[in-house]
C-alpha cells in the first residue's frame, strides 16, 4: 500500500479513545457512494465512518494511495467447495485463499459436490467441522432440497443455513437428485412458512432430454444441447410456484436473456423473485469459444454476444440483482478430457479469485461505474441471502474490506491462482483492476493463517 500524502494525517495513537484501526482515503465506497472518508474499526466491526479530515485516531492507521479505492469485502453466495468427499476438486483452504486474494470476504457454500451433500443437519455439522479450522474468509452454507428430505428442511433452517438449493434436472452427481416441479412447489410451501429461500438451478429436464445430446469438441454442438428454452421453461415453473406459495425464490446463474421479460413481469406483479448471473456470462461469448476448450463448459452454457449484451442491460435496469461466481471446479482430468469432448467434460467455471477484475474490466468498457459493479457483488448478494453484517461499509457491519487498484493491469495466469486445479478459460486474459489487500474484521488477511469464521443466517 502506498503512503501518498492525504491531509491531514495525524499519526497512529494509543489513547483510550483510539480505534483499533483507522483507514483513510480519497475514495472510500460507502452506501453514500465514493467519497473521501475515514473508517474507524473497533473489535472487528466498523465503528465510525467520517469525512476525510475528521482526524479519527487509531492504534494503527492505513493511508490509502491516490490510486486505491476502499471497497466493502465482496460476498459470493455461489461457491462449490466440494470438501469433504471431493476435496481434490476444491477444498476450504484453497477456495477461501482464492476468495481472499480476490477481495471476497464471505462465501456461501453450495450443498452439492461434497460428500455428504448438505441435505441433513448431520451433513451440515460434518461440513462445518471440516471448514472451520481452514477458512481464510467467512463461510456460510446453503442446504439442499432433494426428493425425500422435506423433513430435514426445518431442522436445517434452524441450524442456520441461508436457504435451500434444488435442481430441476440431474445435477451431475448421483447423491444430489433433482426435484420435479410438484416437489419443488411442496418444498416452497414449507420454506414460505419459514420465510426461507429456495435457490434453483433452472433448466428443464424434458427440454434438455429432447435436445441433441452433447458430444464431441464443437462448442456449437454443446450449445445446442442446452437450449435457451430449457432455462425459460424452468424459470416459468419457478415463477408459478413462487406465485402460488408466496415463497421467496432465487434463480441461479441466469444465462438465457429470453427469460428476462417474464422475470421482470413477475417481479412487477409482486412475486418474490431474485436473480443472479455470473462473470462468465458477462465476459465470454459462444462465438469466441475454441472447439475443444472444455474450460468454458458450464450449465447453463455461455451464449451468444447479443445474449451477453442483454444480461448487462438487465443488470443495469435491476432485473438481475447480483453477480456471483458459481465457482465450480473439478480435477484437470475431469475438466479437460482427452479430445476436448464437451459431452464428457465436467461443467463449471472457476473464477472465485478473478470475479471483480473480470466484471470491472468489462464494465468499464461499457461505461458502468465501479460503485455499481461493487453493489452487484457485495450488498446485493448479501441482501438476497440475508447475510448479516456484510456487504457494505457501514457502522455496525463487520470490518470486511478490500483495497482495490481500479487502474492496475495484469494478465491472469492460471498457475498463479489459489484455486486447487489449474484450469480456467481466463488463462492469459488481460485484466484491469486488482485487489491489493483484503481485511477480515479489521485484520489484513494473512494467507498462512486462517481467521475466517462460520456464519449463519440472520435471526
Residue 68 vs 203, nearer CB to Zn ion: 203
Q: How many CB atoms are closer than 10 A to CB 337? A: 16
Question: Distance (Å, rounded) from C-alpha 155 to C-alpha 414?
Answer: 40
Residue 56 vs 423, nearer CB to Zn ion: 423
**Nearest-approach distance from CB 253 to Zn ion, in angstroms:** 6
Residue 232 vs 328, nearer CB to Zn ion: 328
Using CA atoms of 327, 330, 336, 337 in order, give the dihedral in degrees to the nearest 10.
-140
Using the rule CB under 5 A, give the single segment among 235-243, 269-277, 319-327, 408-416 that binds Zn ion: 319-327
Residue 68 vs 276, nearer CB to Zn ion: 276
The x, y and z cell numbers of residue 24, run together, are 483513510
Using CA atoms of 416, 103, 355, 165 in order, give the dihedral in degrees to the nearest 10.
110
**Nearest-approach distance from CB 167 to Zn ion, in angstroms:** 10
Q: Which of residues 328-347 bind Zn ion (CB under 5 A)?
A: 328
Question: Distance (Å, rounded) from C-alpha 217 to C-alpha 291?
Answer: 5
The x, y and z cell numbers of residue 46, run together, are 466498523
Give yes or no for a contact between 167 and 117, defined as CB atoms under 8 angstroms apart: no
Using the rule CB under 5 A, give the single segment among 81-89, 242-250, 296-304, 318-326 that binds Zn ion: 318-326
**Nearest-approach distance from CB 393 to Zn ion, in angstroms:** 28
Using the rule CB under 5 A, give the single segment among 33-41, 211-219, 295-303, 326-334 that binds Zn ion: 326-334
Using the rule CB under 5 A, give the single segment among 84-92, 167-175, 262-270, 320-328 that binds Zn ion: 320-328
H helix runs in 213-354, sequence order: 219-225, 228-245, 260-269, 279-283, 305-317, 332-335
Q: Which of residues 142-181 bind Zn ion (CB under 5 A)?
A: none
**Nearest-approach distance from CB 176 to Zn ion, in angstroms:** 11
Q: Which residues contact 246 (CB under 8 A, 6 or more apart)?
A: 192, 272
Residue 203 vs 326, nearer CB to Zn ion: 326
Long-range contacts of 259-267, Cβ-Cβ distance < 8 Å, separation of 24 or more: 259/228, 259/231, 259/232, 259/235, 260/310, 260/314, 260/319, 260/320, 262/232, 262/235, 262/236, 263/235, 263/239, 263/319, 264/314, 264/319, 266/239, 266/242, 267/319
**Nearest-approach distance from CB 113 to Zn ion, in angstroms:** 9
Residue 27 vs 226, nearer CB to Zn ion: 226
**Nearest-approach distance from CB 380 to Zn ion, in angstroms:** 18
Q: Which of residues 115-134 bind Zn ion (CB under 5 A)?
A: none
Q: Say which residue the cell 452506501 belongs to.
A: 31
**Nearest-approach distance from CB 325 to Zn ion, in angstroms:** 9
Residue 138 vs 326, nearer CB to Zn ion: 326
Q: Which of 38, 76, 138, 326 binds Zn ion (CB under 5 A)?
A: 326
74 has which bridge partners?
104
- State yes or no: cis peptide before 300, omega within 30 of 0: yes
**Nearest-approach distance from CB 457 to Zn ion, in angstroms:** 19
Residue 20 vs 326, nearer CB to Zn ion: 326
Work out the angle between the directed axes of helices 228-245 and 181-194 (0-180°, nearest 10). Answer: 40
Q: Which of residues 202-261 bind Zn ion (CB under 5 A)?
A: none
- If one asks whether residue 276 binds Zn ion (CB under 5 A), the answer comes out as no
Using the rule CB under 5 A, give the single segment among 135-143, 153-161, 287-295, 321-329 that binds Zn ion: 321-329
**Nearest-approach distance from CB 84 to Zn ion, in angstroms:** 18
Q: Which of residues 89-118 bind Zn ion (CB under 5 A)?
A: none
Question: Distance (Å, rounded) from C-alpha 12 to C-alpha 34?
Answer: 25
**Nearest-approach distance from CB 422 to Zn ion, in angstroms:** 20
Question: Distance (Å, rounded) from C-alpha 65 to C-alpha 19?
Answer: 21
| In the complex, residue closest to Zn ion by CB | 326
Residue 108 vs 314, nearer CB to Zn ion: 108
Size of the site for Zn ion (CB under 5 A): 2
* Short-list 102, 108, 131, 173, CA closest to 402: 102
Backbone torsions φ then ψ of 433, nearest 5 degrees: 95, 120
Residue 58 vs 329, nearer CB to Zn ion: 329
Enumerate binding residues for Zn ion (CB under 5 A).
Answer: 326, 328
Amino acid at each position: 500500500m502506498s503512503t501518498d500524502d492525504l491531509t491531514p494525517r495525524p499519526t497512529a495513537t494509543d489513547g483510550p479513545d483510539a480505534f483499533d484501526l483507522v483507514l483513510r482515503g480519497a475514495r472510500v465506497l460507502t452506501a453514500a457512494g465514493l467519497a473521501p472518508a475515514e473508517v474507524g474499526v473497533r473489535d472487528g466491526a466498523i465503528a465510525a465512518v467520517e469525512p476525510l479530515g475528521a482526524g479519527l485516531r487509531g492504534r494503527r492507521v492505513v493511508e490509502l494511495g491516490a490510486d486505491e479505492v476502499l471497497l466493502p469485502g465482496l460476498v459470493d453466495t455461489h461457491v462449490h467447495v466440494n470438501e469433504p468427499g471431493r476435496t481434490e476438486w476444491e477444498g476450504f483452504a484453497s477456495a477461501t485463499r482464492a476468495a481472499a486474494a480476490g477481495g471476497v470476504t464471505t462465501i456461501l457454500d453450495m450443498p452439492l459436490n461434497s460428500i455428504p451433500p448438505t441435505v441433513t443437519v448431520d451433513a451440515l455439522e460434518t461440513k462445518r467441522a471440516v471448514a472451520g479450522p481452514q477458512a481464510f474468509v467467512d463461510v456460510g452454507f446453503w442446504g439442499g432440497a432433494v426428493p425425500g428430505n422435506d423433513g430435514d428442511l426445518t431442522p436445517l433452517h434452524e441450524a442456520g443455513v441461508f436457504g435451500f438449493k434444488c435442481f430441476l434436472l440431474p445435477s451431475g452427481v448421483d447423491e444430489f437428485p433433482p426435484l420435479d416441479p410438484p416437489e419443488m412447489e411442496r418444498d416452497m410451501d414449507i420454506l414460505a412458512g419459514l420465510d426461507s429461500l429456495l435457490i434453483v438451478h433452472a433448466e428443464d429436464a424434458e427440454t434438455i432430454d429432447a435436445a441433441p445430446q452433447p458430444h464431441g469438441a464443437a462448442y456449437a454442438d454443446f450449445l445446442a444441447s442446452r437450449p435457451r428454452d430449457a432455462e425459460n421453461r424452468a424459470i416459468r415453473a419457478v415463477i408459478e410456484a413462487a406465485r402460488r406459495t408466496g415463497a421467496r425464490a432465487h434463480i441461479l446463474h441466469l444465462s438465457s436473456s429470453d427469460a428476462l421479460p417474464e422475470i421482470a413481469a413477475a417481479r412487477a406483479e409482486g412475486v418474490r423473485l431474485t436473480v443472479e448471473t455470473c462473470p462468465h456470462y458477462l465476459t465470454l461469448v459462444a462465438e469466441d469459444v475454441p472447439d475443444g476448450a472444455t474450460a468454458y463448459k458450464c450449465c447453463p452454457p455461455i451464449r451468444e454476444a447479443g445474449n451477453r449484451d442483454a444480461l448487462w442491460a438487465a443488470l443495469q435496469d435491476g432485473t438481475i440483482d447480483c453477480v456471483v461466481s458459481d465457482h465450480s471446479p473439478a480435477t484437470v482430468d475431469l475438466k479437460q478430457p482427452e479430445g476436448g469432448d464437451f459431452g464428457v467434460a465436467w461443467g463449471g467455471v472457476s473464477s472465485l479469485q478473478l470475479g471483480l477484475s473480470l466484471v470491472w474490466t468489462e464494465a468499464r468498457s461499457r461505461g458502468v461505474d465501479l460503485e455499481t459493479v461493487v453493489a452487484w457483488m457485495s450488498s446485493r448478494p448479501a441482501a438476497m441471502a440475508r447475510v448479516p453484517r456484510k456487504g457494505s461499509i457501514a457502522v455496525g457491519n463487520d470490518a470486511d474490506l478490500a483495497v482495490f487498484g481500479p487502474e492496475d493491469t495484469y494478465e491472469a495466469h492460471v498457475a498463479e491462482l489459489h484455486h486447487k486445479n489449474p484450469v480456467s478459460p481466463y488463462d492469459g486474459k488481460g485484466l484491469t483492476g486488482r485487489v491489493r489487500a483484503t481485511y477480515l474484521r479489521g485484520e489484513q488477511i494473512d494467507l498462512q493463517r486462517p481467521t475466517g469464521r462460520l456464519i449463519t443466517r440472520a435471526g
